[in-house]
A and B are shown apart, each in its own frame.
Chain A
Amino acid sequence: MTIDMEGLPVDHTPVTLRSFQREVCLAVSRSVSPWILLLFLCLIASGPSLANDYVDTLIGRAEARELWNDPYWRTLVHYEKGLFGTRSLVDDPDFFASPRGKTDPRAELEATLRLLFQDPAPTDEGATGSAGDSLKVKSPICRFVARFEWLTEALDIDESRVPETRCEPFEDLYTAVGADAVSLIFPTSHMNSPASMYGHTLLTIGAASETSLLSHAINYSAVTNETFGPLYIAKGLLGLYPGYFSMLPYYAKLQEYSDVNDRDIWEYPLELGREEIRRLFLHLYELENINSNYYFFSQNCSYHLLYLLEAARPGLELTDRFGWWVIPLDTIREVQSAGLVGEPIYRPSKSTKVSFLAGLSSRTERHLARDIAKGGVSPSEEPMLTDDGLPKDTRIRVLDLAGEYLQYIYAKGEVEQDAYVPRFLGTLRARSALGASGEWRYSIPPPTAPERGHRSARIEAGTVFVRRGPGGHGPLDAFPIVAIRPAYHDLLDNGAGFKRGSQIVFAETGIRYDPRREKLRVEFFDAIDIVSLAPRDLYFHHTSWRIETGLVRRTDRSGGDPLVFHFGTGFGWAFEMPLLGLPYLMFDTESQFGGGLDPNYSLGAGGSAGVLGDFTSWWKFHLRGRAMLYRIGDEDDRLELEAGQSLITSTNTSLTVEVRRLRERDRSHTETWVSARIHY
């Protein structure tokens, strides 16, 4: 399974005398003549009874101290205490020295010790999994290089009695990578991809130098060829994909995130010493080609990275703090509160650079730069780009903008390579004739760092006032309401640290109390509610969209309001308007199912228009109107007008008022929600 892209020699195992003898023994003992003598020699050579005695001594020491209960041993083998006792989260049999290792820390410790004192020749033991090929050439010391270093110290092992104490391939790699600085990397969400909104983390490791481009990215990810969306998600939730660690040059990751996926990146330098980084790397080496089942929400990329940090600094407890739900950003907060994180560094993506430069330019300059990138204007022939045209500084900016944008559209596949090459070179040539610009010109002011935004979970408490009756002038009812959601961000929440115009809500439940009947009832359940408002402009032609599913209250024919299951989608456009925010238009569809409907389903289509006002940090509003016509199944027309506003009182608190006017089944009512919201 390993792709040896550089044609590296894989077999670094030194041939020791003993292993050589064994090979000779096996070859010769099949032949006839002096086999008795040879067999005898073999017995002497490969019968290390003294070593066995020493292992027994060490195992005795480990038993006396119950070393298998040591937290560091639990970190190294990824043991977790669960409902069914202790289990390792690693699912690869090759990771264990003992066949019972996954569930038995003690057996694993003993087997590891015995293995380390075994003949260091390539062994087939345990190499039964798919990655077996590479393991056959890993000697025991290389398989368990981190365990060995720890055990040596913990049990005071006499290294002269161990067959092999040094894993050369590891040492080579360690030297090559120059491991003396580690950073935690957080690529922020990608505008139009719901999976990326959840976030991702990786590590970089490299030499402490003035540039981080040469460090290596350590990434844990699921491996799959599944492309069918629903199945992809379902399998991911059930842990049906194997997850592996990998290492790539960091610049390759930057190309992926920054140049192709439009994701800004935050780099958090970790305050780890050289010894700690070495331990991290030792453990990473043990995890090469070792798989653990990958669960999207719990045992995911960010969770498994925490093991590397725990391995780096014994005594650190990071993985214990998470349960069913591991949000990458929360892992950064944990690492931060463990005192490991320095000041973050912001790395804007290509599209952020384009937007920034465009924001500094006049309308004419923006059009000129776009025309150069699109090929309509040749920089060498354009009069505005000569000394008699625009001022030099402006020309520099226009050409830089054109160059960045051209790279952007090339990465998006909007321009063919044949056209791109001469256009790109022409632009750069014109640019280079103008001389240096000084980088200060383009230092993009960093936005609020993501971990300084509001926390992931939210609780809301307040009152809903409902007025029903003809024309909405009937009696006013008031119901206390509480809503809880584990993740993540909605359009009215404090936007600092989050992608503008994005909303991602998971599993929010609202419960309403009816004081007259003295009853609680579920008011709504938003399983998933995602909105992505991506403004279109001269440079970017984003499609905005939304998708939501869950349980909602709908008015039925008899005037009741039963819960129905619904699934809605919307596609459209958003724009950026000064002093207004983000206005948008969408085409919507909705399917509803439930016993309250007659028949028990209804399908409809319609449209919505709205505006999100978010131009201050302390006040936000969202106005929306939507008309839906249900024409299949239970027929009805539904009209919603909604005005919400939120007063942001601190990073994690806000006060919200939302007024909603609804017309369905030819009846109207007005709901007013007044609530306080706290992120925690």
Chain B
Amino acid sequence: MQELPYYPGCSLKDTANNFETSALKTAEELGFDLEELPRWNCCGTVYSLTDDNLMKQLGPIRNLVHAQSHGYDRLYTLCSMCDNTLKRANLLVKEDQDKLKKINAFMDQEPDYLGEVEVRHFLQLLRDEVGWERVRENVKNPLNDLNIAPYYGCMLTRPREVGLDDPHDPSVFDDLIEALGANPVDFAYDSECCGSYNTVDKAEVVLDKTETIINGARKAGADLMITSCPLCQFNLDSRQVDLIEVAPSHEPLPVLYFTQLTALAFGHPEACQFSENSVDPTTKVEPVKNPATER
């Protein structure tokens, strides 16, 4: 088993634990052991955009220092917001030596960050290192032609400098869905922001988006949707419960982490912890869990 240094991010240890369990199992099936960094701190998402606030870069850079101290030149992520924050902070200090010096000087209890750790998202592992063929070969429960809406969200593809795919025409989720034996659904809102952190103080803004994105996916024929971010998941999955309260005619659509889909397809539904998904996906995934069952 190849060991891969892994950065979970806060949510994956608690409220988004099903993202982690399904990802660990997926990685295991592919011959990888995702080794959590022994010591890490909150990445401090969202990446700070002001030119002068180096304090907000300390969180992400310290994680890269920890990875470096353990001899890793790469760090794998699952949460797309953590991925984005770490990547952007990394790019900032690579391009601005003055800022790196200041950050290193401030973090006087830690070794200096040398700028040599690369942050990679799990999808980059699947696409660029494993390859879709090998993903296909590992499928034990074919997804029985499920129609799946790929929800990219914002942070996987934007900004272009750190995005892992084209912001206007991404395809990595579509390719993954196909490799797992399902049908990717083309819909207009695959990269439209879910409302993000407005869910805390302006939930109505989010509910608008929940409705738009979910209905858009269903109208395009989706049975399920997949995400790569605990905040997207919360806004698109859990918030459907709130949406039904204000719009009782709303028809819920199950939303999964993409690793729940891969773990399911690789024959490990127990690692998916579907009970933690707010909209129950079991009616859609039962036929997959038990291939003998008629659809």
Please determine whether chains A and B interact with each other in the same assembly.
Answer: no
Interface residues of B (CB under 8 A from A): none
